[in-house]
Amino acid sequence: MTEIDFALNQEKDTDKVEFVGTVLWNKANKVGHFTKLSEAEQTFVFIDIFESEINNNGLFGFFYNSSGEYTHEVLQAFLNIKAQESATIIDTAIRVFKTLPIPKDILERRQEITQLTKDTLDFWSQLEYQLIETGQTHHNLSIFSIY
């Protein structure tokens, strides 16, 4: 039984996600970086990165931190798993930026973020609630796209 088979045989969906994530992050370390994984595996990782930031620091944290370097890849990952509602919300959050595509350089991104108004930051908070309300289980959808 492979590590992935073991992960997918877990009873709880949360355990499946946790184990698949561990397998993929370990594999990414072995090959040097997660961008060297297959497209389907990267899709899972991009969603994992996004959801980790959203659960901890919201959209502000996602864009402000190093994770924001992968903004457009994250959007594509949501499109890959057919999570259209979530992709639309993420696209709306992206369009707040004056510079598109969003800069990969963290300092450029942060400079633009620091100039956002309170209303814009409040708008991002509303979008975070909309992401929750979609009820889309992103990790589960991304697991199915991998294997």
Domain spans in the chain, listed from the N-terminal domain onward: 3-146
Give me the pLDDT at residue 112, please: 97
Distance CA 21, CA 7 (A): 9
The two tokens of residue 11 are: 């009873």
Dist CA 121 CA 59 (whole Å): 9
The answer to whether the predicted template modeling score (pTM) of the entire model surpasses 0.85 is yes
pLDDT for the residue 7: 84
Q: What is the pLDDT of residues 41-51, one digit of tens each?
A: 999 899 989 98
Rounded Cα gap, residues 14 and 121, in angstroms: 30
- Return per-residue pLDDT of the chain as tens, 147 residues: 888 888 888 888 888 888 888 999 999 999 999 999 999 899 989 998 998 899 899 999 999 999 999 999 999 999 998 899 999 999 999 999 999 999 999 999 999 999 999 999 999 999 999 998 988 766 555 665 655
Give the span between the Cα atoms of 50 and 143, in whole angstroms: 15
Omega of the bond leading into 101 within 30 degrees of 0 (cis): yes
